[in-house]
Amino acid sequence: MKPENKVLIFDTTLRDGEQAPGASMNEKEKLEIAYALDRMGVDIIEAGFPVISEGDFHGVEMVAKNVKNSIVCGLARSIKKDIDAAHQSLKSAKNPRIHVFLATSKIHMEHKLRKSKEEIIQMAIDAVKYAKSKVSDVEFSPEDASRSERDFLFKVLEEVIKAGARTVNIPDTVGYTMPELYGDLIASIKNNVPNIHKAVISVHCHNDLGLAVANSLAAIKHGARQVECTINGVGERAGNASMEEIVMALKTRSDYFGCSTGIKTKEICRTSRLVSKYTGFVVAPNKAIVGHNAFRHESGIHQDGVLKEPTTYEIMRPEDVGFMETGLVLGKHSGRHAFKERLKLLGVQIKDEELDKAFIRFKSVADKKKQVFDEDLLAIVEDEVKVFQKVWTLESLKAEIGTDIAPQVHVELKFLGKTFKKTSTGDGPVDACYKAIDDITKMKGELLDYSIQSVTQGKDALGEVTVKVAIDGKNIIAHGASTDILEASAKAYINAVNKVISQKK
C-alpha cells in the first residue's frame, strides 16, 4: 500500500463521543476502550479535553501512560492554558499530539468570539507555534470550516501550516454540508493552499442530517487522508461519523476509493459492544456493520441465496468484522484450562484471581444453558471482572409474583463478610428488588433508564440489563448479566451502587 493511499483513522470516541449527553465514562472505562482502540490499530486516539475537568485531565494522562502504539491526542482551544494542560496530560505518551482549534466561520467569529479576521489568523498562528514548542505533532482545526468563507479558510490553513501544523482538520461542525459540496471543498483546499503538501488533510463530520459517513467518504475521494470518527457514531447531538462504517466502506469498495486503513476489522464488533456497554447507548438492530440484524436474513429468497452463495446478499463476511460464528464453544464439562484458552483466543487477558471468579460464574451459566457461546463468555467476564471495587455482592434473590398479587422480592446482599436481608414490595418485581437494595445499602437511587437485550439467541440466552441510576447527585450507568432477568436487573443496580462507592473512595 502506497503511503498516499492509506487513510489514517483518528478516533475521538473518548473525547467527542463522551460529550454525548449521558455518555460520561470513568477513567478505567476510558482506559479499557483505549486498549481496544489500540488493539484495533487506530492511528490516533483523541483521549479527551484535558483543561475542562480534573477527571478529563487524568483520563488523558492514564491513556497516555498505557497506550503503546497509537498516537495519543489531547484537545485544546487556541489559548495557552488549554495547550499547557494538554501538554502536561500527554507527558507520558510515546507519541503525543496536541489538537488546537479556533472557529473561522462568520457566524462564530461575530457572535461567539467577537474577533476580526486578522485577529483570528494571529490567534491561530500563535496557538500552533506555542503548541509546537511543546510537542512536534500539532493538528489545527478551523471550527465550522464547512460554513467558513473559502478564501479566508485558505489563508488560515496556509498560515497554520507555516507555523508548524502537520495536520489540518476541516470540521463540518454542525453537520450542515452535503457530500458533493464537501468533496469540492477538500479539492479546493488542495488547489488553493500553496503549502498544503506539507500537511495531512483531515475531516471531522457530524451527523445532524445523517450524512457524516457520506461526507467523510466524499472527502477521502477528493484527497483527505485522515478521518475523525467514533465507534458506533457516538457524539454530540446526532453523533459523529461511524468508524466501523467508514473502515468497511473503504475495505469493501477498495475498487472505487483505492484507499485502505490499518484497522484490524475483526476487532470491530467487540469494540462496538464495549463502547455500547460503557456509554449505555444500545446499538440499534439495523445499525450498519455492528447491529444484530446486519447479517441476518429472514426473507426466504435471501436465505436461499445466502445458503447457495453468501455473496448473493452479503457484501461483507460476518467474521470479517468480528461477528462470532463459532457456535458451541464450551459446556458444563469444560475445565478451567479450556476456559482460559478460549478467552485468550477471544483476546481477553485477565489476572488469575479474576479468572477464578469468571470461571465459577461460567460453570453456573453452563449448568443452565445447553450452549455457551463466545458472546456469553464475554458477557460473563465483563459482568464478573469489574473496573470498580465490588463492595456489595448479591447472595440470593427470591421473588413472589403473579397476576393478582403484589410483587414481593426477598434480597440478600453481602458486605465485608456480613449478610444483610430485606423483603420489599413494589409496582413490579424489579421495582420491589430495587427498593430492597436501597433499604439494605442505605443509598437511595432513582432509576432514570432501564434496558435489556439478549446476548445470544434462544430461550436460555443470557440477558444483559443496562441501567442509568441517579445516586447522590451522580448519574451512573451500570450493567448486569444472567439467564434470569430479575437477577441481571439486581446485579446491574448493585453495580451502580458499587460504582458510586468506588468513586467516593
pLDDT at 210: 97
173 closest CA partner among 108, 91, 242, 230: 108
The amino acid that residue 489 corresponds to is S
Q: Is the pLDDT of residue 451 over 80?
A: yes
Alpha-carbon distance of 186 to 193, in angstroms, equals 11
The average pLDDT across 65-78 equals 97
- What is the number of alpha carbons within 13 Å of residue 248 lying toward its C-beta? 25
Any idea where the domains of the chain sit in the sequence?
A: 3-279, 295-323, 336-384, 392-504
Three-state SS across 41-60?
CCCEEEEECHHHCHHHHHHH
Distance CA 87, CA 330 (A): 47
In this predicted structure, the answer to whether residue 356 has a pLDDT above a threshold of 80 is yes
Q: What is the mean pLDDT of residues 144-164?
A: 97
Rounded to the nearest 5°, which phi and psi values hold at 83? Answer: -65, -40
Pairing of strands 405-415, 418-425: antiparallel
| Lookup: cell for 286 | 439495523
* Residue 7 DSSP one-character state: P
Q: Are 241 and 205 in contact (CB under 8 A)?
A: yes
SS3 469: strand
Identify the bridge partners of residue 138 per DSSP, sorted by sequence position.
Answer: 98
Q: What pLDDT band is residue 388 in, cutting at 50, 70 and 90?
A: low
pLDDT of 369 reads 66
By C-alpha distance, which of 396, 442, 438 is closest to 419? 396
d(CA 410, CA 399): 6
Asked if the model's pLDDT at residue 86 lies above 90, the reply is yes
Contact 273, 323 (CB under 8 A): no
> String of b and e for 393-421 (b: at least 16 CB within 10 Å)?
ebeebebeeeeeeebbbbbbbeeeeeebe
pLDDT for res 482: 87
Cell digits of residue 13: 470516541
pLDDT at residue 374 is higher than 90: no
The HSE-up count of residue 260 (CA atoms within 13 Å, CB side) is: 12
Average pLDDT, the chain: 88
Helix axis angle for 54-66 and 27-40, nearest 10°, is 40
- Low-confidence winner among 181-185, 274-278, 348-352 (lowest mean pLDDT): 348-352
Average pLDDT of 288-313?
Answer: 66
Tell me, what's the pLDDT at 1?
Answer: 46
CA separation for the pair 123, 68 (Å, rounded): 33
- At residue 452, the 3 state secondary structure works out as strand
Return the bridge partners of 398, or none.
410
To the question of pTM greater than 0.95 for the whole model, the response is no
Residue 348 DSSP symbol: -
Interval 176-202 mean pLDDT = 98
Which pLDDT belongs to residue 384? Answer: 67
Read off the pLDDT band of 328 (50, 70, 90). Answer: very low
Lowest pLDDT segment from 180-194, 283-297, 372-386: 372-386
Residue in 348, 356, 392, 377 with CA at minimum distance from that of residue 490: 392
Three-state SS across 180-200?
A: HHHHHHHHHHHHHCCCHHHCE
DSSP 8-class letter at 265 = G
C-alpha cell read off for 65: 501512560
Domain 3-279 belongs to what topology? TIM Barrel (3.20.20)
Decide which of 369 and 234 is more confident.
234
Nearest Cα to Cα of residue 9 among 167, 142, 238: 167
Q: Confidence band (pLDDT; 50, 70, 90) for 231?
A: very high
Check: CB of residue 489 under 8 Å from CB of residue 433. Answer: yes
Residue range 392-504 in CATH 3.40.50.2300: no
Beta bridge partners of 479: 466
Helix axis angle, 54-66 relative to 80-89, nearest 10°?
A: 40
Confidence of residue 25 (pLDDT cuts 50, 70, 90): confident
